[in-house]
Amino acid sequence: MLRSVSLFFVISFVSVLSMADSSERAREIVTERCYLCHGAEGEASSAIYPRLAGQNAKYIAKQLSDFKQGLRKGTMNEMAADLAEEEMLALGEYFASKPPQAHRVRDKEFSAVGSYLYHNGNQFSGVAACKSCHGESGSGTEQLPRLAGQHKRYVVEQLQAFNNGARTNDHAIMHSIASKLTEFEMQALAQYISGME
């Protein structure tokens, strides 16, 4: 019994050290290459870059892997090219641990249109409710991104990319949704999503 208890503590100690090492490695990578665009805390330096604070860890790791493999195109292809799987997971955990923030919504009426679409969809054009995949509060899942608090411009650009085929990964469902959204609806959704907490 004493031996198994000792073994448990040794394994636990090694796990804690390993987590500390991966956390430190993630911090190094953020300082070396991520912070210029995404900020040290994942809040993004510009609306053209996604906010990563509070984003789901496994989702971040998967997107990094997709960029590395060329399944998703953009500036991140070069940034992810030499990342090991453990580093991608560590970066996911790093940004997931950061507190997300919401934007202040100035146009409440326009945001209300986005709220309706997010929670109910549009039965007339066949657009499904966003909440059915991304959750009532926009927090997403391990496989689907957190949307709450994301930059308006970034949300619109991703919807447009899903619509026109520029977004080459995870696009099967999102293409069918984005292709039915009008520009007005995209902008309203983005406004609402940016203010979600």
Q: What is the pLDDT of residues 149-183, one digit of tens each?
A: 999 999 999 999 999 999 989 888 999 999 999 99
Q: What is the pLDDT of residues 96-131, one digit of tens each?
A: 999 999 999 999 999 999 999 999 999 999 999 999
- What residues have CB less than 8 Å from 130, skipping those under 6 apart? 117, 118, 119, 121, 138, 147, 189, 193
- Closest to 58 in 3D by CA, of 88, 21, 100: 88
Q: Rounded to whole angstroms, how far apart are CA atoms 135 and 50?
A: 19
- Closest to 185 in 3D by CA, of 107, 112, 104, 103: 112
- Closest to 139 in 3D by CA, of 59, 49, 50, 26: 59
Q: Is residue 123 part of a domain?
A: yes
Q: Is residue 101 part of a domain?
A: no
- CA of 145: how far to CAs of 14, 108, 140, 142, 157, in Å? 31, 24, 5, 8, 15
Amino acid residing at 126: G
Q: Compute how many other C-beta atoms are within 10 angstroms of the C-beta atom of residue 137.
A: 12
Domain co-membership, 130 together with 73: no
- What residues have CB less than 8 Å from 21, skipping those under 6 apart? none
Q: How many domains, in total, are found in the chain? A: 2
Q: Are 189 and 159 in contact (CB under 8 A)?
A: yes
Domain co-membership, 80 together with 162: no
Residue 173 belongs to domain spanning: 108-195
Domain co-membership, 90 together with 139: no
- CA of 157: how far to CAs of 36, 43, 134, 160, 172, in Å? 20, 18, 18, 5, 17
Q: What is the pLDDT of residues 10-58, one digit of tens each?
A: 444 444 435 568 899 999 999 999 999 999 999 998 999 999 999 999 9
Indicate which CATH number applies to the domain containing 45. 1.10.760.10
- CA of 158: how far to CAs of 93, 135, 185, in Å? 23, 18, 14
Confidence category of residue 6, pLDDT binned at 50, 70, 90:
low
Q: Is residue 103 part of a domain?
A: no
Q: What is the pLDDT of residues 59-109, one digit of tens each?
A: 999 999 999 999 999 999 999 999 999 999 999 999 999 999 999 999 999
Question: Greatest CA span in the chain, whole angstroms?
Answer: 67
Domain co-membership, 20 together with 86: yes
pLDDT of 186: 98
